[in-house]
Amino acid sequence: MKVQVKKSNKCEKTINVKIDADRITAAYSKYFNQIAPAAKVKGFRQGKVPRQVLESHFQKEAKQNVLEHLINESYREVVLEHDVHPIQFPKIHDVNFNDNELSYTAIVEIRPEIKLPKYKGLKATREVKEVTDKEVDDVVQRIREQRATFAAVEDRAVQAADFVVYDVVCKVEDQVIKDQKDQWLEVGGAQAQKEFSDQLVGAKVGDKKQFNLVLPETYHEEQYRGKQAQYDVSVKEIKEKKLPDMDEAFLKGLGDFQSDADLKRSIRKDLEENAKQVGNRDVENDLIEQILKKTKFELPVTLLEDKIKHILQEDERQQTYQGAPKEELDKKLDERKKIAAEQAEKQLRGAFVLSEIAKVEKVTVTDQEIDQRIAIIARQYGQDPKKIREFYEKENHIDGLANEIQTGKVIQFIRENAEIKDKVKKS
């Protein structure tokens, strides 16, 4: 096999390969030997078909199989023997194949050469948000809200802050567009349409109310936006939210708290830890940005294009899920492409730089660290860690998980080797 490897540009290598007749002949022999036991040809017993007959009947299949086998096999050999280190699957061009010779050209993208700037001893300021009494009280209130009960109201009409259970039929131009049973609505609540909510004030259990409203411009079905709708509402129940007292039973239900002061101290500690983590993330982003500003290198073209495409697809998926019409997404395509390109370039530059630092500093990932991360994922999803590992192995995600862990370790290394000043951020 003759091989020529040359650098096309800073992120690409061109590999020219020629394979001689002996290797091609051997590949054909291997293929026919493999299919011979199961080959079926009319007039011959299975497994007893002569080689010449096999060649005649399976010529097309044999040629395609041998071609693919030789390209794949020889490409792997070149990569290992010539220290190529591709980051994408190769693009195969100029294939010439006959019984005497196979030649082809493989274009492969490689990691860019990176000259790292200073990444130790960088300076940054970590702003840590001050936790206020109000924030602690807000968390306590949310906990009480989550454990609230709802008491039936029988002796009065609906008023603000009540919860109403109702059936509703909504029509537009005599066409039913909504027919729902046992709906819940907090009167005057943030999630309620004010005009609809106001119509229920003063109603009693068993009342049937009919009223007209103009559907808002944000209505989820575009064809009905701004149109007048007729509502028929049957009030089935009125409920009043009851928040639990901060008594012994309430505190014990949350953990080993002896008093509301104990609970608040625990909440404050969690909020302060969260604030510190947010501060660390901001510092890490700042430090990485400092490194990237001083690092210049070209990105592999195809890798960048694929990244942009992936970001665009993910953006469209999320916006479509949130109700954005496809026409609006198409109108903003140029703007979305520009944003995606900026994001893709930043992400790839960051990934290459952090990977290079990992290489220089010999930052590795152990099997134990992968097991620990899988255990965390398993707890989050309530699954057996063995099943999570089997899934990651089946989907070839273990390398990606290892890269994620390695990246985190490198970022931590940069932060721990930086000169960081803390600054309390007042609320």
Q: Over 80: is that where the pLDDT of 216 sits?
A: yes
- Residue 419's region, left for phi above 0, alpha for psi from -120 to 50, else beta, is beta
Tokens linked to 142: 């949310």
Long-range Cβ contacts of 5-10 (<8 Å, 24+ apart): 5/78, 5/82, 5/84, 8/107, 9/298, 10/112, 10/113, 10/297, 10/298
What letter represents residue 82's amino acid?
A: H
Residue 11 has a pLDDT of 92
Phi, psi of 424 (to 5 degrees): -75, 125
Q: Would you state the pLDDT for residue 387?
A: 93
Cα distances from 319 to residues 2, 305, 328, 345, 356, in angstroms, run 52, 21, 10, 22, 35
Q: May I ask the CATH architecture of the domain 253-425?
A: Orthogonal Bundle (1.10)
Is there a contact between 250 and 244 (Cβ–Cβ < 8 Å)? yes
Check residue 328 and give its pLDDT: 85
Percent of the chain with pLDDT over 90: 80
Max mean pLDDT range (214-223, 327-336, 398-407): 398-407
Task: Write down the pLDDT at residue 43.
Answer: 85
Is 78:3 a contact under the CB 8 Å cutoff? yes
369-410 per-position pLDDT tens digit: 999 999 999 999 889 999 999 999 999 899 999 999 999 999
* Residues 271 and 135 sit within 8 Å (Cβ to Cβ): yes
* 3-state SS assignment for residue 284: helix
* DSSP string for 145-185: HHT-EEEE--SS---TT-EEEEEEEEEETTEEEEEEEEEEE
Quick: pLDDT tens for 13-42: 999 999 999 999 999 999 999 999 988 888
Task: State the Cα–Cα distance between residues 18 and 79, nearest whole angstrom.
Answer: 15
The 3-state secondary structure of 242-269, one letter per residue? ECCCCCHHHHHHHCCCCCHHHHHHHHHH
Q: Which residues contact 324 (CB under 8 A, 6 or more apart)?
A: none
Answer left, alpha or beta for residue 103, where phi above 0 means left and psi between -120 and 50 means alpha. Answer: beta
pLDDT at residue 327 in the model: 84
| Identity of residue 77 | E
Split at pLDDT 50, 70, 90, the class of 325 is confident
- Of 121, 201, 111, the closest CA to residue 164 belongs to 201
**pLDDT in the model for residue 175:** 95
Residue 170: beta bridge partners?
178, 231
Whether residue 45 has pLDDT greater than 90: no
SS3 assignment, position 315: helix
149-242 adopts what CATH topology? Chitinase A; domain 3 (3.10.50)
The angle at the Cα of 123, spanning 119 to 125, to the nearest 5 degrees, equals 135
pLDDT single digits (tens) 277-302: 999 999 999 999 999 999 999 999 99
% residues pLDDT > 70 (the chain): 100
CA distance 360 to 363: 8
What was the pLDDT predicted at 266? 95
Asked if the model's pLDDT at residue 413 lies above 80, the reply is yes
The whole-number pLDDT of residue 398 equals 93
Task: Please give the pLDDT value at position 419.
Answer: 95
**How do the domains of the chain map onto residue ranges?**
2-109, 149-242, 253-425
Across the chain, what does the average pLDDT equal? 93
Give the pLDDT score at 117.
96
CA distance 378 to 373: 9
Task: Give SS3 for 130.
Answer: coil
pLDDT at 201: 95
Residue 70: its pLDDT value, please?
Answer: 96
pLDDT value of residue 48: 87
Secondary-structure class of domain 2-109 per CATH:
alpha beta
What does the pLDDT average to over 306-324? 90
Give the integer Cα–Cα distance in Å for 402 and 374. Answer: 11
Task: Judge whether residue 138 has pLDDT over 90.
Answer: yes
Distance of CA 99 to the CA centre of its chain: 48
Q: Encode pLDDT of 154-208 as tens digits.
A: 899 999 999 999 999 999 999 999 999 999 999 998 888 899 999 999 999 999 9
**N- to C-terminal Cα separation, the chain:** 70
Confidence of residue 68 (pLDDT cuts 50, 70, 90): very high
pLDDT per residue over 96-118, tens digit each? 999 899 999 999 999 999 999 99
Section 124-129 average pLDDT: 91
Model pTM score: 0.71
The pLDDT assigned to 345 comes to 95
Q: Please say if the pLDDT value at position 427 is more than 80.
A: no
Give me the pLDDT at residue 215, please. 92
- Res. 319: pLDDT tops 90: no
